[in-house]
Structure 1
């Protein structure tokens, strides 16, 4: 089995039409049909159901498609990173994140890591579930999300539980108080992110459903910035993690709820393997930033005012290749 077999299979699986797949691959249809047949014979299982109206994937084919995509993603990432390392002589460190986490101390972590001239930091905006796959394929080395994922190849660490607050139009009467979920349920709600579950939508709606409250979802959007734009347009409210209030907008009021126990976890994902020098440095910085938050030093004054933050233990930064 060669990589071209995997590439051919993925295109056919996406098109579910041999003619269109052949055109997309710039090869003739008969050779493509033979390649797919050879792949099925080598695997020892049919990957497609062939019917007059077209192709469909067998259960084995669906499983193989998922695995083939991971393999190709890993190969593409490896080739890309190898070229980058060869051209710059740097170590690549990939960080995955959900957008709401990037309003907190994650930018500080990135700035601190970038102080090492031998490191190139690559950021990837990914949902928590996608971060797990990105860790396994090597696209990222560490991820920050909000949903718990059970995977034997990935460790998930709870950094802290963050209060959930409401973003309301500044002119709305509820913007002048700490509203209850019952009060919020009486006005339209903007949800994010749109897309496959589980996501922050499930966390938000679950808060109301568990209390027997019905909510009117006005619209689902892909990211928090769009949600805030709709709030500013007075289309409704949205629930956001507390650190999102660092976005200063005159037309939006960020208010705490009357229940302080409504929180969202901030989780860190890593591959289940011994940490290398870069990961050890990242862990030292991350531990300091989390401690700053827990003790109320958030953000550290030195970071806010442009000064130098407290350095990691002696030798931690120098140990990075």
Structure 2
């Protein structure tokens, strides 16, 4: 499999027609068809239903199309970033993040970083926690903000804070009649919605492990891909979802209750390559310390345990 085959497949998937795709790619149709066939043979699945007019994607084809678009988009980013660096136009810093960190300090940090390093090209990539570890080792990102602890010696980690967890509850249900902290045992009979569905381990596993530690086994667990979907299902009264406290601002059509317990938290973790002491890594650590000294609302005890990170070298 090579990038040319990915581009050929994306062209056919977009045009839904081999002739138009071949014209767009400025090649003849037979070699285009042959490359798609070779791709399918390598994958061992059918990507396109050729007998229909227009050509249709199979289920496998739809998934492969989405992934191919991401790969080609990332390749284009790499090309442009490398060109800028090679021409001494800009340095590039790629930051991986999990979605829930957008409701804490990440936006403020990025704004401060742009102010202190205006010529730095900052690229933000949404990646699950464990995806960030692999991306760091492969050099696809330079720093990551995740929630899952790991033991990979190639990646250094600093816990920035221990964020408290809340239960997102459908409105007009018995649990929504109270605003006081919710005992974990109260979730015993509740349908649970967890995210992300994959890759694992993830925040979903943190939640399930926490419930297990409190001897809470929900009668039904629904897994979804992202926090936005999970909260949408809560609003539709499909179940209860446990989320980081700062993310409660995402929707105002559900009821939130802090969960009882000192250790009912989720860490926010800064990850970077071990022994990477580059200027921008140190700058980010400095800016985080400055942010914490300002005591912003998202850092208050309503959302977090009294904890401050240590950046000792």
Contact kept in structure 1, 2:93 and 2:123, CA below 8 Å:
yes
Residue number in structure 1 paired with 2:297: 298
Runs of 4+ in 1 over 6 A off after TM superposition: 22-25, 72-77
Superposition CA RMSD, Å: 3.2
Number of residues of Structure 1 aligned to a counterpart in Structure 2: 243
Q: Structure 1 residues 152, 218: closer, same or farther in 2, change over 3 A?
A: closer
Residue number in structure 1 paired with 2:240: 237
- The TM-score with structure 1 as length reference comes to 0.66
Q: Structure 1 residues 148, 218: closer, same or farther in 2, change over 3 A?
A: closer
What are the Cα deviations for residues 1-58 of structure 1, in whole angstroms up to 9, with x where unaligned?
Answer: xxxxx849x99xxxxxxxxxx97883997xx9xxxxxxxxxxxxxxx9xxxx99xxxx
Q: Structure 1 residues 212, 152: closer, same or farther in 2, change over 3 A?
A: same
Q: Structure 1 residues 24, 274: closer, same or farther in 2, change over 3 A?
A: farther
Structure 1: give runs of 5+ residues left out of the alignment: 1-5, 12-21, 33-47, 55-71, 301-321
Superposed displacement of residue 275, structure 1? 2.1
What are the Cα deviations for residues 148-198 of structure 1, in whole angstroms up to 9, with x where unaligned?
Answer: 122221101111111111111232221213221221121111111111320
Give the alignment of 1:1-321 within 5 angstroms.
7=2, 26=35, 78-85=78-85, 89-115=89-115, 116-175=117-176, 176=178, 177-249=180-252, 251-292=253-294, 296-299=295-298
Query: What SS does structure 2 have at the residue aligned with 1:255?
Result: strand
CA distance in 2, matches of 1:74, 1:218: 34
Q: Structure 1 residues 151, 174: closer, same or farther in 2, change over 3 A?
A: same
Contact kept in structure 1, 2:130 and 2:200, CA below 8 Å:
no
Q: Structure 1 residues 24, 237: closer, same or farther in 2, change over 3 A?
A: farther
Query: What SS does structure 1 have at the residue aligned with 2:280?
Result: helix
Residue number in structure 1 paired with 2:308: none
Superposed displacement of residue 79, structure 1? 3.5
Q: Structure 1 residues 207, 7: closer, same or farther in 2, change over 3 A?
A: same
Contact kept in structure 1, 2:128 and 2:199, CA below 8 Å:
no
What are the Cα deviations for residues 49-93 of structure 1, in whole angstroms up to 9, with x where unaligned?
Answer: xxxx99xxxxxxxxxxxxxxxxx9998875442124457811111
CA distance in 1, matches of 2:220, 2:108: 35
- The TM-score with structure 2 as length reference comes to 0.68
Q: Structure 1 residues 226, 87: closer, same or farther in 2, change over 3 A?
A: farther
